[in-house]
Amino acid sequence: MNDTIRGGCLCGAVRYEISGAQTVGGDCYCDDCRRSSGTAFCSHMGVAEDGFAVTGDLAAFAKPADSGNLVTRKFCPTCGSAVVSVNSGAPGLAFVRASSLDDPETFAPQMTVYASRAPSWAPPPAGRPTFPEMPPPPDRPDAATA
Ligand SMILES: [Zn+2]
Ligand SMILES: [Zn+2]
């Protein structure tokens, strides 16, 4: 898992490299993820923010989540592809959109959150921890994988 993980936006203006492995990750069916995704949910791959190196300009949109934490979603201003988000409640982590990975198999979803909001046409997958809303905040962000 020490290989560099690469990804970028649709037009190629934004590229990134990740050194280090996924720390936490899953699918989120919250309303904000749905609206920004183009489908029913977003797949977020959490990695150490200091191991996430991006080239190219990103536009950003910040909005408080249900938790009150500020979620800043970053995207390519040219093609609109979602690339990464950061969450004030999870300092030190970058949540890469799995959709932007060069090799989407790099992502290993560990949980599904806000599953109660999934539309009938995109039910959450079975076989992993699934929470109707956001699970209680852990002491450490990566403890949520337990
Ligand atoms: Zn682009
Ligand atoms: Zn969400």
pLDDT per residue over 4-33, tens digit each? 999 999 999 999 999 999 999 999 999 999
The ligand minimizing its distance to the Cα of 7 is: 1
Instruction: Indicate whether 146 pLDDT > 60.
Output: no
Is 56:13 a contact under the CB 8 Å cutoff?
yes
The answer to whether position 128 is within a domain reads no
- Would you state the structure tokens that stand for residue 125, as one six-digit string? 């997958």
pLDDT number for residue 145? 45
Say what the pLDDT of residue 143 is: 46
Query: How far, in Å, CA of 62 to CA of 71, rounded?
Result: 6
* 127 located within any domain: no
Any domain includes 14: yes
Q: Which residue's entry shows tokens 């609109």? A: 80
Asked whether residue 142 is domain-assigned, the answer is: no
pLDDT of residue 108: 96
Name the CA radius of gyration of the chain, rounded.
14
Q: Are 52 and 4 in contact (CB under 8 A)?
A: no
User: What is the CB neighbour count within 10 angstroms for residue 101?
Assistant: 19
Cα–ligand 1 centroid distance for 9 (angstroms) = 5
pLDDT at 142 over 70: no
19 domain-assigned? yes
Which residues have CB less than 5 Å away from ligand 2 (the ion)?
28, 30, 33
pTM for the whole thing?
0.90
Contact 52, 96 (CB under 8 A): yes
Ligand nearest the Cα atom of residue 79:
1
Domain of 75 in residue numbering reads as: 5-101+110-116
Q: Please check whether residue 61 lies inside any domain of the structure.
A: yes
Return the ∠ at Cα 96 (arms to 51 and 139), rounded to 5°.
Answer: 75
**Structural domain includes residue 132:** no
Mean pLDDT of the chain: 93
In contact, 48 and 118? CB cutoff 8 Å: no
On whether residue 137 sits in a domain, the answer given is no
Maximum distance among all alpha carbons in the chain? 38
67 confidence band (pLDDT: 50, 70, 90)? confident
- The pLDDT value given to residue 136: 77
Give the CATH number, domain containing residue 13. Answer: 2.170.150.70
The mean pLDDT of 78-105, rounded to a whole number, is 97
What is the 57 CA–ligand 1 centroid distance (Å)?
A: 9
Query: Which helix or strand (DSSP H or E) is residue 52 part of?
Result: strand 52-55
Number of domains, the chain: 1
